[in-house]
């Protein structure tokens, strides 16, 4: 959250644009990818009046607030937030977050309702593309994608990647990664610019999702 606020406060002065994608990511302003795996774990609702339930409810609300901010305001400064859940219904990912995500992707689903939750109501009009038709071993790794501004749906296939291959690829490409906060500090030092929002603010110097 602190990084998003800082980037938003300096992007016009430093990059000369209000949307990072107008110039593209660079070594000093890299693309930041935020993965929220098993999203339902972080957004689970709790009901009750005891102290522990109230604490967990407050934690869930804070998680939702942080993610909503990243999804709505992070894209323009180069923060890509990816929410992953086995079933993206409203109780797993709040609809006020899910419905503003520009890209939807779903692997095989058992019900039309689950397909609608992941891809939007328009999937009802494209039965041949629906993920409910992917219930077959031949479709392992196949997903249906909905993209903002594009009519219809697209099927994609993702190859299987073993743990060993994933580790090898991560090690081989680790030199391409960087801490975006340190990159921003270096960029500000280079330009001599001090953003007005560099104080820690109400969210503190850093914020992370917490599991209830």
Q: Which of 192, 184, 178 is nearest to 4 (CA)?
A: 184
Taking each continuous run of H as one helix and of E as one strand, the counts in the chain are 7, 5
Q: Strand runs (DSSP E) across 9-161, as ranges?
A: 32-36, 79-83, 103-106, 142-147, 154-157
Mean pLDDT of 74-86: 94
Least confident of 44-53, 73-82, 122-131, 201-210: 201-210
Tell me the pLDDT tens digit for each residue of 7-45. Answer: 999 999 999 999 999 999 998 899 999 999 998 999 988
Q: Which of 106, 101, 99 is nearest to 154 (CA)?
A: 106
Tell me the pLDDT tens digit for each residue of 144-198. Answer: 998 777 888 999 999 999 999 999 999 999 998 989 989 988 888 877 776 555 4
Q: Strand runs (DSSP E) across 5-65, as ranges?
A: 32-36
Helices 2-15 and 180-191: crossing angle in degrees, nearest 10, is 40
């Amino acid at each position: 959250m602190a990084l998003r606020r800082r980037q938003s406060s300096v992007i016009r002065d430093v990059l000369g644009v209000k949307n990072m994608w107008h110039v593209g990511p660079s070594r000093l302003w890299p693309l930041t990818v935020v993965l929220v795996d098993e999203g339902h774990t972080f957004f689970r609702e709790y009901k009750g009046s005891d102290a522990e339930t109230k604490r967990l409810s407050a934690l869930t609300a804070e998680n939702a607030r942080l993610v909503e901010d990243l999804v709505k305001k992070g894209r323009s400064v180069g923060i890509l937030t990816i929410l992953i859940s086995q079933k993206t219904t409203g109780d797993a990912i709040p609809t006020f977050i899910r419905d503003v995500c520009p890209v939807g992707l779903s692997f095989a689903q058992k019900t039309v309702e689950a397909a609608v939750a992941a891809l939007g109501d328009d999937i009802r009009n494209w039965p041949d593309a629906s993920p409910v038709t992917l219930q077959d071993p031949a479709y392992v790794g196949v997903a249906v994608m909905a993209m903002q501004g594009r009519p219809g749906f697209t099927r994609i296939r993702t190859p299987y990647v073993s743990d060993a291959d994933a580790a090898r690829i991560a090690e081989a490409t680790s030199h391409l990664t960087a801490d975006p906060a340190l990159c921003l500090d270096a960029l500000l030092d280079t330009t001599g610019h001090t953003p007005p929002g560099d104080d820690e603010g109400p969210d503190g110097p850093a914020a992370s999702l917490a599991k209830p």
